[in-house]
C-alpha cells in the first residue's frame, strides 16, 4: 500500500508544480469528493428511497436543490478557488511541502487528530457567534434557508461565512505546516463529515451510532429545524463543546423523550 501511494505521489510531483498541486489539485479533489458524496442524497430524496431513515418528512423541491447547486458552483469558483490560490504563499511560508519523503502514518494521524480538536473549538465559537441577531440576519441566515438540509447544503453559505468558518478548517494545518498529502486527507475527511452531517438521513450504519461524541446528521438536523435563537448544537464534528457549555440541552431532552416512547 505504501509503495502504491509513493508511486502515485511520484507521478504527481514529477508532472505538476507545487502551486498546481496545492491549488488546482486541492480544488479538484474537493469538488470531486464534495459532489460525489453529496449528490446521491438528492437522488434519495427525489426518489423516496430509504425514506424510513429520513430525519424529516419534508422534502426539498427540485428547484430548491437546483438553486443550491448553482450557488455552490458560483461560490466555489469565485470564492474557494481564489482563496486557495491567495493562501498558497502563507502555507508554504509556514512549512507546507509536497516533496519526498512522505510523512509517516503516525505523523499524519497525530496531525489529523490535532486538526479535528482545534477545528471543533474554533468552529463552535465562530458558529455560535454567527447565531447572534445581526450576524444571523445578515450572514448566517443564507445557510439556514434550508430547514430540511441535504448533503450539498453543507457548503451553501454567505461568502463572508465561507471565509469566517473556513478559518476553523485551515488554522490547524497553518499552525503545523503539513505535507500536502496530509492536507488532502484532512480536506477529504472534513468534506465527508460535513456532507454526512447535512445529509438528512440517520442510518443504522451512521458513524454517530458507533463513535462516542460524534455529532452526525441527527445532531445537526436538529440545529436546522429550530429558530436561530433556540437551536443550540453549534459543534462541528464532535459534540463535546455543546456538552461543556450546555448548548445541546434541548436536543438531549428531545432525544430522551423519543427513547421513552
Compute the CA torsion angle 251, 150, 83, 121 (nearest 10 deg): 20
User: 101 preceded by cis ω (within 30°)?
Assistant: yes
Q: What does pTM read for this prediction? A: 0.95
- The grid coordinates of residue 250 equal 434541548
pLDDT in tens, the chain (261 residues): 678 999 999 999 999 999 999 999 999 999 999 999 999 999 999 999 999 999 999 999 999 999 999 999 999 999 999 999 999 998 899 899 999 999 999 999 999 999 999 999 999 999 999 999 999 999 999 999 999 999 999 999 999 999 999 999 999 999 999 999 999 999 999 999 999 999 999 999 999 999 989 999 999 999 998 866 668 999 999 999 999 999 999 999 988 887 776
Number of other CB atoms surrounding residue 125 within 10 Å: 13
Cα 124 to Cα 236: distance, rounded to the nearest angstrom? 7
Amino acid at each position: 500500500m505504501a509503495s502504491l501511494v509513493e508511486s502515485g505521489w511520484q507521478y504527481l510531483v514529477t508532472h505538476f508544480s507545487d502551486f498546481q498541486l496545492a491549488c488546482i489539485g486541492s480544488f479538484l479533489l474537493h469538488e470531486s469528493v464534495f459532489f460525489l458524496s453529496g449528490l446521491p442524497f438528492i437522488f434519495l430524496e427525489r426518489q423516496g428511497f430509504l425514506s424510513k431513515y429520513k430525519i424529516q418528512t419534508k422534502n426539498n423541491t427540485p428547484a430548491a436543490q437546483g438553486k443550491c447547486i448553482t450557488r455552490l458552483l458560483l461560490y466555489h469558483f469565485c470564492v474557494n478557488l481564489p482563496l486557495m490560490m491567495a493562501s498558497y504563499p502563507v502555507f508554504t511560508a509556514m512549512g507546507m511541502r509536497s516533496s519526498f519523503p512522505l510523512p509517516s502514518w503516525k505523523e499524519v494521524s497525530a496531525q489529523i487528530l490535532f486538526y479535528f480538536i482545534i477545528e471543533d473549538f474554533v468552529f463552535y465559537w465562530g458558529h455560535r457567534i454567527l447565531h447572534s441577531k445581526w450576524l444571523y440576519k445578515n450572514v448566517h441566515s443564507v445557510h439556514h434557508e434550508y430547514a430540511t438540509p441535504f448533503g450539498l447544503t453543507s457548503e451553501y453559505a454567505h461568502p463572508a461565512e465561507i471565509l469566517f468558518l473556513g478559518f476553523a478548517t485551515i488554522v490547524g494545518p497553518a499552525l503545523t505546516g503539513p505535507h500536502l498529502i496530509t492536507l488532502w486527507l484532512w480536506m477529504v475527511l472534513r468534506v465527508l463529515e460535513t456532507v454526512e452531517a447535512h445529509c438528512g438521513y440517520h442510518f443504522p450504519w451512521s458513524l454517530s451510532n458507533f463513535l462516542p461524541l460524534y455529532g452526525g446528521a441527527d445532531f445537526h438536523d436538529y440545529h436546522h429545524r429550530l429558530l436561530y435563537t433556540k437551536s443550540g448544537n453549534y459543534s462541528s464534528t464532535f459534540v463535546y463543546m455543546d456538552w461543556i457549555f450546555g448548548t445541546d440541552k434541548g436536543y438531549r431532552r428531545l432525544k430522551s423523550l423519543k427513547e421513552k416512547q
